[in-house]
Amino acid sequence: MNDRPPVVVVTGASAGLGRAIVREFSRQKAHIGLLARGRAGLQGAAREVEDAGGKAFAAPADVSDPQQVEAAAEAIENAFGPIDIWINNAMVTVMSPVSRMKPEEYRRVTEVTYLGSVYGTLAALKRMLPRNQGVIVQVGSALAYRSIPLQSAYCGAKHALEGFLSSLRTELLHDGSNVRITSVHMPALNTTQFGWMKNRLPNDPQPVPPIYQPEVGARAVVYAAQHPRREMFVGISTVGAIVGNRIAPGLLDCYLARTGYESQQTDTPADPASPNNLWLPVPGDHGAHGSFDDRSRNWSLQLWANTHRTSLAAAGAGIIGAAVAAFISSRKSRSRWPLLRWKSR
């Protein structure tokens, strides 16, 4: 039996959800390959891994460049050995109406958010398929199924990823491969994304409430990496958006047209000179959390139930069994009373 710590690669590891995922894996003393553009954030993440007893290998890379992704994967395996888990998490976005978007912005969001995950998957498959083992986790979103206004580039990229992964899953099944693919679809998270996304709205952007802390998403990613699931939904809002879109997409169109602009903005006027990370990383180490700590939830009942569904099913079966037994016993008791009354006469 192999007792070595898992070797994990996380893209977008320097900040936000990626940083929270790194922290969650570091609790398992994992050996973690860190991919991101921001060197200060990578260094901070690496220190946290080492402080927690794991090992870190920082690989500065732009995931939109497949050669950089491949070189990072090779360097990580040279340092730690075979990669067990690959997490595709890197993304960029633009908050803007479609009519004000520029072609190069669509291209950039697509290259990072969609193609970056494709390139990461290819690098992982190159190493996992010959060994016939490994897990690739794609960080998805409720927006992979239900688009919202002002985020057309990001929604399009997340939708595309679901198409790509569905094709790949069928191929792996056809080949009888033990390499596993899973998607984890996130709700609104309190991450650094909203402090440095490119923004054309009059006010600062915000996640659409309810907002969860990035640690909630990180726990789901680690769980999905270690338990066989095709996909996981995180948060009741994600479930509601995806299921609602399947039932009444036109109704949701109208609802989002009415609420989607206001719900994605704070009351603070936006600073046009504020730096964004679309083309270059924003300098500094920004950690995992955004600026919405006072409005964010640290726990999700839906996620807890999702990760404990076997125990809940067993408990439910026990309750139903006990109720059925009590009902049968009650019926038997009633059927005996008339006989006793007759004998007493």
Q: Is 212 a catalytic residue?
A: no
3-state secondary structure the chain: CCCCCCEEEEECCCCHHHHHHHHHHHCCCCEEEEEECCHHHHHHHHHHHHHCCCEEEEEECCCCCHHHHHHHHHHHHHHHCCCCEEEECCCCCEECCHHHCCHHHHHHHHHHHHHHHHHHHHHHHHHHHHHCCCEEEEEEEHHHCCCCCCCHHHHHHHHHHHHHHHHHHHHHHHHCCCCEEEEEEECEECCCHHHHCEECCCEEECCCCCEECHHHHHHHHHHHHHCCCCEEECCHHHHHHHHHHHHCHHHHHHHHHHHCCHHHEEEEECCCCCCCCCCCCCCCCCCCCCCCHHHEECCCHHHHHHHCHHHHHHHHHHHHHHHHHHHHHHHHHHHHHHHHHHHCC
CA dist 191 → 47, 51, 83, 269, 317 (Å): 20, 22, 27, 20, 39
**Whole-angstrom Cα distance, residue 110 to residue 278?**
11
β-pairing, 198-199 with 188-189? unpaired
**Other CB atoms closer than 10 Å to residue 95's CB: what's the count?**
23
Q: Which of 114, 154, 212, 223 is flagged as catalytic?
A: 154
CA atoms within 13 A on the CB side of 100: 11
Catalytic (active-site) positions: 154
